[in-house]
Amino acid sequence: MIIAIDGPAASGKGTLAKRLADHLGFACLDTGLLYRAVARDVAARGFRLEDTWAAVATARGLDPLELEDPDLRGTAAGDAASIVARIPEVRAALLAYQRDFARRPPGAVLDGRDIGTVVCPDADVKIFVTATAEIRAKRRHCEFEARGAGVAYETVLTDIIARDTRDAGRPNAPMAVAADAMLLDTSNLSIEAAFDAAVGLITRKTGH
C-alpha cells in the first residue's frame, strides 16, 4: 500500500508521515531530505545552487542512505533544497529511488510536494496537509524559540511564504493538490488530533 502525504513547508506533514508509518508498520521516506542533500552537496563542492550541470550531476550521484545529517533539517537547507528542486533533471534523477521505495512491502508512506501528483499518481491514499502560513510560521517560530535561536516571527513568515511561492510556482512538478487527494487542514489541530484525523481518512479510503 502506498500513502502519499503532500503539503507546504512546516505543515507538519513530516511528523504526520512518520507517525502514520509507525502506526501501520510501513517504511517512511521524507523526500524533502533528498533535495536538501543535493543542495548541501552542490554547495559543499563549491558550485552555485542554480548551476544546473552541478546540481544534476550531484543528484545522479546521491547516496539516498546518507540523509542522517542533522544540518539537513534546518531552514537554510530547506530554502536551498527548494532552489535545486526547480531543476527538472534533478527531479528526474531522484524519481526512480522514490518510486522503488514506494513499492516496499507491506507498504510505504512518502511525504513531499509532488508525491500524489507525479511520484506515485496511483497511491492508495493521498492526503494534502495544510495550515495557514501564519500558523505554520507560529509553530516554526516556537520551535526556534525552544532551541534558543533568535529568529523574528516576521522573518519566519516571510521565508515560509517565499518557499510556498517557489514550490507551487515552478513549472515542473509544482506543489499541488492531486485531484483525488483528501485535504487535512491542521490549522486548529494538535499533532495528536491531526494524526487521529489522518488515520480516519486512511480507514475510510482503505478499510485498514
- CA–CA gap between residue 156 and residue 137 (Å, rounded): 6
The dihedral over CA atoms of 37, 40, 43, 47, expressed in degrees to the nearest 10, equals: 10
Within 10 angstroms of residue 185's Cβ, the number of other Cβ atoms is 15
Q: Contact with ligand DC (CB under 6 A): which of 127, 163, 194, 197?
A: 163
Tell whether residue 31 is a contact of ligand DC (CB under 6 A).
yes
Tell whether residue 82 is a contact of ligand DC (CB under 6 A).
yes
Query: Is 183 buried (19+), middle (13-18) or exposed (0-12) by CB count in 10 A?
Result: exposed
Query: CA geometry: angle at 7 spanning 100 and 207, to 5°?
Result: 65
Task: Give the number of residues in contact with ligand DC, rule: CB under 6 A.
Answer: 15
Residues 113-142 that bind ligand DC (CB under 6 A): 113-115
Beta carbon of residue 88, minimum distance to ligand DC (angstroms, whole number)? 11
Q: What grid cell was written down for 84? A: 535545486
Nearer to ligand DC, 54 or 85 (CB): 85
Nearer to ligand DC, 76 or 193 (CB): 76
Tell whether residue 32 is a contact of ligand DC (CB under 6 A).
yes
Nearer to ligand DC, 134 or 204 (CB): 134
- CA–CA gap between residue 31 and residue 114 (Å, rounded): 10
Instruction: Enumerate binding residues for ligand DC (CB under 6 A).
Output: 9, 31-32, 35-36, 78, 81-82, 85, 112-115, 163, 167
